[in-house]
Structure 1
Amino acid sequence: MDAQAFPPIGATMTSPDTSPTLARDAGAVDAPHPSGPLAGYADWPAYLERTTPHRPGDERGDALARALGVRRPSAADIRVEHTWSNDGVDGSELSWQLPYGPRTRAWLLRPAGIRSALPGLLALHCHGGVRSVGAEQLVETDRHPHPTAARLRRDVYDGRAPANDLARDGFAVLAHDTFSWGSRAFDLTRPTPRLAEHIAAREALWRERGEDPSAADRFDAISTLHEDSLAKAAGMLGSSLAGAVASDDLAALDVLAELPGVDPARLGTFGLSGGGGRAVLAAALDRRISATVVTCMMATFASLVPAEIDTHSWLLHSPGIRSAGDWPELARPGRGQSVLVQYGRYDPLFPAAGMQAADAALAGSAGYAGSFHDAGHVSSAAMQDEARAFLADRLRA
């Protein structure tokens, strides 16, 4: 990416269409889309065929990239769609085009009025069982939030917008929709016969319960059903769901590192739940990330299989990932890196013994810090305050 081609703050552009689409009525859908479960990403198979897995250049990173089929796509046609300034933050809504799929929507936040080079943070949204929104859950803008983003901020982020808080702390924060979320969601308007059957069953269940889900909630439920087909297709194409998500994240990291006003020598990342898993992978795949915060996304693989197979999505249960190492081993900081892992003592998604075993496996590693909180599967205010202090210390914000 050519940093000099980046549009100036305040440029006026046309906003991309970021509304996920799905069939209105499973019983009345047209013939399946010719791209099948990859509708909206018809160009993805050809891209995977002509590229090879990313090679970070170290044994662990190379093994991980190979196991997950991670690629290194480049963002093109980067646009500023909208700007605002509010409550100590200067914000920009951005978009860019990767070599496959729809345009990526993202938000860049900075402390108001500051144009000097700042440490950069890649903010990674959680899975959350939703795909109608992605990074918007982390960001407060000058516009009315998507209802799902507002609900996630209320329920899992203690009512806060973490990206805004970190921007006020002196960071340039980039939060992007990743592969299959938000603006990068798949087109589900013409489902395959198999997915249509699953949709019909879900519709019947809603009717039986007297439920009338919103369009966003309906899309989220159907996207969860679609994830199985998506993971299957990714595996047959030499990648994986986790690998495709990591590929989007690496492209976003390149965007962040090359933005004017970002110090590429001071890069970090953070995330809750699936976002924490993405942070683990990003730091293992790119050593430029020197500080990482992983919230409620750490346990040994042995503690998750078989009891917790249905608890987590394909984003964690990725075929072949154990060939690259156990989850704590993949999170172990490399030379010049540091990681804070935050555990929720009452997290219902990770067994206590698995979290304790992971902490024990990481204890003593240079650059590792672990903390246990009286919390469930959330990023509480106390966790966020600890994370902000950790990132400020490690990245000299």
Structure 2
Amino acid sequence: MKNTRRNFLKVSSLAGISLTQGNWPITASHTDPTLSQNPIRIMNTTDQDLSIIGQYGPWATAQMQKNLPSFSFRKKEWKDLGEWKKAARNQVMQRMAIPDLGGLPPVKANKKYTYDGLQIEELSWQLPYGRPTEAILLKPQNAQGRLPAILAFHDHGGNKYFGTQKITRIPSQNPLMAEHQKLYYSGLAWANEIAKQGYVVLVADAFDFASRRIMLQDVPASMRNGLTDPEPSNADGIEKYNQWAGDHEHILSKSLLSAGTTWPGVFFAEDRKALDILCARTDVDASRVGCGGLSGGGLRTVLMAGLDERIKCAVCVGFMTTWKDFILNKSYTHTWMSYIPLLPTELDFPEILGLRTPLPSLVLNDMEDDLFTLLEMKQADQILTEVYKKANAADRFKTSFYPGPHKFDAKMQAEAFEWFGKWLKG
């Protein structure tokens, strides 16, 4: 089963995808030799001028491209940066319908130990709904005083069974996560690596992942497809659960919309609670906090960094494009948790991150990333460049393009760590 698990990771671990719903295709790395034997199809590269929704594509795009989005800072009507940020941020938060999670929850330290040159705490806290959120905190073993901090976001990866372990390394690491890190992170646990550079790093399970995932035992038996919740040692059971969880995404998203909220809103609410917990710690300098992550973690970076100015430095990896790219080319490669109703006529996707201007932002893209088109990744770069330039903060924004498929490899991590160091330590 080892090869089967590896192939599953390659096909399903593109963070931000929604696993097979009906007959829609899933993207995967073009370098995967198993694709010729897999019923999953990729859009032919010769179909570049066609839309994934046929002749409706140009019409749909025109709905949000007749003029610049109404809250775009690129419009000449918006002249004052502060006024624009206040108005646009309020609009985004209204569209996201962010739920109120109350005050700071009590935090329980379940384990404390040293490992990998780090002092590690396994934490949990109870939100008003669901099982307790589990998190891992890391900092240098002999650290003293208040340190700069990073709120590190794990990826989606088509893998709801795991969360924090995707980007950390602890003694109880699941072997499947070693494969995951090899595939997307050059075999590195990037949260550990940056903690070693003098940061307090907090990684919490996102909504619908790991400790926050939907358990099979909690849904009607008719929806379980004969499955039961797998143990961590049951690789085949985990694979089947992840397939079920991918198919279940549209149900969860529709239910959230019916409840008057959105998946991005719940994401942000829970991540903001983790930020509250991080900033409240006595070993953290709350004036020097950054955030970052790959793909699904990049999406969460866009939301958190754009909407909460406690984030002084942001690194978005593998999740930057335009709404046009989703409409015409790539909505089928992404999870239901990516979309905010009505917002595209008011802000283009990159401009959500641009709401943090003039605070520093780094965007890292992969040129052969199947989740986006290179053309629209470059267009997103142009949009953010214009926003930062208009705010007289051009030196605080940077985009880098790396060869290869969807990943956050060692070279990209090195640039990210340098950026964090420049703005949180320098």
Bucket of the pairwise TM-score, normalised by the shorter protein: 0.7 to 0.9
Alignment match of 2:399 (pick from 367, 370, 391)? 370
Q: Would the alpha carbon gap of residues 359 and 191 (structure 1) be closer, same or farther in structure 2, given more than 3 Å must change?
A: same
Cross-structure match for 1:131: 160
Alignment match of 1:95 (pick from 124, 131, 136)? 124
Q: Would the alpha carbon gap of residues 323 and 248 (structure 1) be closer, same or farther in structure 2, given more than 3 Å must change?
A: farther
Please state how far the C-alpha of 1:77 moved relative to its aligned partner.
2.6
CA distance in 1, matches of 2:145, 2:275: 19
Is 2:348 the counterpart of 1:319? no
Amino acid paired to 2:322: T
Cross-structure match for 1:359: 381
Is 2:202 the counterpart of 1:171? no
Corresponding residue SS for 1:93:
strand
Amino acid paired to 1:183: S
Alignment match of 2:363 (pick from 341, 344, 349)? 341
Amino acid paired to 1:330: I
Corresponding residue SS for 2:327:
coil
Cross-structure match for 1:265: 287
Alignment match of 2:245 (pick from 223, 226, 244)? 223
- TM-score after normalising by structure 1: 0.79
Is 2:293 the counterpart of 1:293? no
Contact 1:324 1:330 in 2 (8 A): no
Alignment match of 2:189 (pick from 145, 157, 161)? 161
Please state how far the C-alpha of 1:189 moved relative to its aligned partner.
2.3
Contact 1:60 1:284 in 2 (8 A): no
Contact 1:133 1:148 in 2 (8 A): no
Amino acid paired to 1:126: D
CA distance in 2, matches of 1:177, 1:190: 19
Alignment of 1:106-117 (within 5 A): 106-117=135-146
Please state how far the C-alpha of 1:320 moved relative to its aligned partner.
3.0
Alignment match of 2:351 (pick from 329, 332, 337)? 329
Alignment match of 1:151 (pick from 164, 175, 179)? 179
Please state how far the C-alpha of 1:69 moved relative to its aligned partner.
1.1
Please state how far the C-alpha of 1:150 moved relative to its aligned partner.
2.4
Amino acid paired to 1:188: L
After superposition, the CA RMSD in angstroms is: 2.0
Q: Could you list the runs of 5+ residues in structure 2 that have no partner in the other structure?
A: 1-84, 229-233
Cross-structure match for 1:51: none
Please state how far the C-alpha of 1:60 moved relative to its aligned partner.
2.1
CA distance in 1, matches of 2:251, 2:128: 22
Corresponding residue SS for 2:332:
coil
Corresponding residue SS for 1:169:
coil
Contact 2:112 2:121 in 1 (8 A): yes
1:221-259 per-residue CA deviation (whole Å, 9 max, x = no partner) reads 111111111100100111111111111100000000001
Q: Would the alpha carbon gap of residues 239 and 346 (structure 1) be closer, same or farther in structure 2, given more than 3 Å must change?
A: same
CA distance in 2, matches of 1:138, 1:258: 23
Is 2:113 the counterpart of 1:84? yes
What percentage of aligned pairs have identical amino acids?
Answer: 30
CA distance in 1, matches of 2:402, 2:290: 22
Contact 1:132 1:182 in 2 (8 A): yes
1:77-121 per-residue CA deviation (whole Å, 9 max, x = no partner) reads 311111121232111100011111110000110011112101111
Please state how far the C-alpha of 1:214 moved relative to its aligned partner.
1.1
Cross-structure match for 2:86: 58
Query: How many residue pairs were aligned?
Result: 329
Q: Would the alpha carbon gap of residues 230 and 107 (structure 1) be closer, same or farther in structure 2, given more than 3 Å must change?
A: same
Is 2:266 the counterpart of 1:238? no
Please state how far the C-alpha of 1:179 moved relative to its aligned partner.
0.9
Please state how far the C-alpha of 1:307 moved relative to its aligned partner.
2.4
1:124-168 per-residue CA deviation (whole Å, 9 max, x = no partner) reads 01111111011111111122x123422221111110001111111
CA distance in 2, matches of 1:396, 1:333: 23
CA distance in 1, matches of 2:113, 2:221: 44
CA distance in 2, matches of 1:251, 1:376: 32
CA distance in 2, matches of 1:333, 1:165: 29
- TM-score after normalising by structure 2: 0.74
1:47-86 per-residue CA deviation (whole Å, 9 max, x = no partner) reads xxxxxxxxxx822221111111113423423111111212
Contact 1:299 1:354 in 2 (8 A): yes
Amino acid paired to 1:129: G
Contact 2:368 2:404 in 1 (8 A): yes
Runs (4+) off by over 6 Å: none
Alignment match of 2:410 (pick from 376, 381, 389)? 381
CA distance in 1, matches of 2:163, 2:108: 19
1:190-247 per-residue CA deviation (whole Å, 9 max, x = no partner) reads 5447745xx37x99xxxxxxxx961111111111111111100100111111111111
Contact 1:140 1:161 in 2 (8 A): yes
Amino acid paired to 1:304: F
Contact 2:289 2:310 in 1 (8 A): yes
CA distance in 1, matches of 2:251, 2:345: 23
